[in-house]
């Protein structure tokens, strides 16, 4: 088996009969991979990563990366299985066709949005296909958690999704139907989605824009930071070994392979992400949000060396990766 596609349970604490897991629906940047420009205006020599991204079917190709999105398969104490979707980007339909089918996910139970950029919300129109339906032509509303700022932006772009619930038999009932829940982007204001508590983790995503990450899990603690250029001190304290306690898993963005980033950047570069991993010191870290400078196998070999040196296992995640973890 290709080690990069090994989706056997990772070495995370698991307890009892719990079978919670995290499914990475997308691990790429806003433009997704392959980068279309590398294919329609190829350089000489052509971009190796985008060429590779087309050389195998996407379900066996870790260099094929859709917009970042995470599906939390949460197994409650009573054994009920809930699916919590974090972000619904431009590639959502493609992610459903590929990974909902592969991992046998029948529907979702709630949605959480990190921010209102296109790669986090533009798939909302397609959500209706994964909504539970109780009977013909009636879709149950799915709770969606977002800040007021994100709500205002989404409402302007999808006015038809924020009007009141359509009635049974309505011609347009086959549209996404959401139950909008406003959250505060504040560490002290946790909220519960499908039975799982989430702590908002505000981070800078560019120096004039705040995006939310989330801390979740009571048995294993997981932090998810998908879009970040600078981690605010209070957020860093909440997820650091030297602060509120060591994470079992840190999922953090790394957008560019080279460079050290600058004040205008909206994303972390690899060296900045690895510096953050060292400061936060989780038991394990997975990187997401990579652009086409990252070749999956090459960079993971380099990261294996880094992990050995620093004592913190870090790897690039890939689309379709599923890890089992006791939340």
Tokens of 16: 């009892």
**CA 276 – CA 240 distance, rounded (Å):** 10
Cβ at position 132, least distance to Zn ion in Å: 29
Q: Is 253 in the site for Zn ion (CB under 5 A)?
A: no
Residue 134 to residues 101, 107, 168, 258, Cα–Cα distance (Å): 21, 12, 11, 50
Please answer whether residues 183 and 110 qualify as being in contact, where contact means their C-beta atoms are separated by less than 8 angstroms: no
Q: Is 227 in the site for Zn ion (CB under 5 A)?
A: yes
Candidates 30-38, 61-69, 134-142, 248-256: pick the segment binding Zn ion (CB under 5 A). Answer: 30-38
> What φ, ψ does residue 84 adopt, rounded to 5°?
-115, 120
Candidates 35-43, 75-83, 188-196, 218-226: pick the segment binding Zn ion (CB under 5 A). Answer: 35-43
Q: Is 94 in the site for Zn ion (CB under 5 A)?
A: no
> What φ, ψ does residue 144 adopt, rounded to 5°?
-130, 125
**CA 112 – CA 144 distance, rounded (Å):** 6
Q: Is 47 in the site for Zn ion (CB under 5 A)?
A: yes
Q: Is 228 in the site for Zn ion (CB under 5 A)?
A: no
Q: Is 292 in the site for Zn ion (CB under 5 A)?
A: yes
Cβ at position 122, least distance to Zn ion in Å: 12
Cβ at position 49, least distance to Zn ion in Å: 5
Q: Is 117 in the site for Zn ion (CB under 5 A)?
A: yes
Q: Is 35 in the site for Zn ion (CB under 5 A)?
A: yes
**CA 210 – CA 230 distance, rounded (Å):** 10
Candidates 110-118, 124-132, 149-157, 173-181: pick the segment binding Zn ion (CB under 5 A). Answer: 110-118
Between 185 and 217, whose beta carbon lies closer to Zn ion?
Answer: 185
Q: Is 38 in the site for Zn ion (CB under 5 A)?
A: yes
The DSSP bridge partners found for residue 84 are 72, 110
**CA 71 – CA 83 distance, rounded (Å):** 7
Task: Please give the residue ranges that form the binding site for Zn ion (CB under 5 A).
Answer: 35, 38, 47, 50, 117, 227, 292
């Amino acid at each position: 088996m290709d080690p990069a596609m090994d989706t056997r349970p990772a070495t995370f604490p698991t307890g009892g009969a719990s079978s919670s897991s995290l499914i990475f629906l997308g691990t790429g940047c806003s433009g997704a991979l392959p980068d279309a420009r590398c294919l329609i205006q190829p350089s000489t020599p052509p971009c190796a990563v985008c060429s590779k991204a087309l050389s195998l079917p996407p379900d066996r190709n870790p260099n094929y990366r859709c917009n970042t999105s995470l599906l939390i398969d949460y197994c409650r104490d009573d054994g009920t299985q809930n699916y919590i979707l974090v972000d619904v980007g431009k590639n959502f339909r493609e992610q459903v066709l590929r990974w909902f089918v592969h991992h046998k996910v029948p529907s979702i139970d709630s949605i959480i949005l990190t921010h209102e950029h296109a790669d986090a919300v533009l798939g909302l129109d397609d959500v209706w296909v994964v909504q539970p339906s109780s009977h013909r032509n009636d879709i149950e509303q799915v709770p969606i958690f977002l800040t007021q700022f994100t709500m205002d932006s989404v409402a302007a772009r999808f006015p038809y999704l924020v009007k009141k619930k359509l009635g049974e038999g309505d011609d347009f009932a086959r549209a996404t139907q959401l139950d909008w829940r406003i959250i505060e982007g504040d560490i002290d204001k946790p909220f519960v989605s499908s039975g799982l508590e989430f702590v908002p983790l505000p981070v800078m995503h560019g120096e004039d824009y705040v995006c939310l990450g989330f801390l979740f899990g009571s048995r294993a603690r997981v932090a998810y930071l998908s879009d970040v250029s600078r981690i605010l001190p209070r957020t860093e304290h909440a997820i650091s070994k030297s602060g509120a306690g060591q994470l079992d898993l840190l999922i953090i963005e790394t957008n560019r392979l080279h460079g050290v980033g600058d004040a205008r950047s909206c994303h972390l570069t690899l060296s900045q992400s690895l510096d953050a991993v060292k400061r936060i010191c989780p038991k394990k870290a997975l990187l997401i949000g990579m652009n086409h400078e990252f070749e999956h196998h090459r960079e993971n070999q380099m990261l294996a060396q880094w992990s050995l040196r620093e004592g913190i296992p870090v790897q690039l995640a890939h689309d379709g990766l599923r890890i089992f973890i006791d939340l």
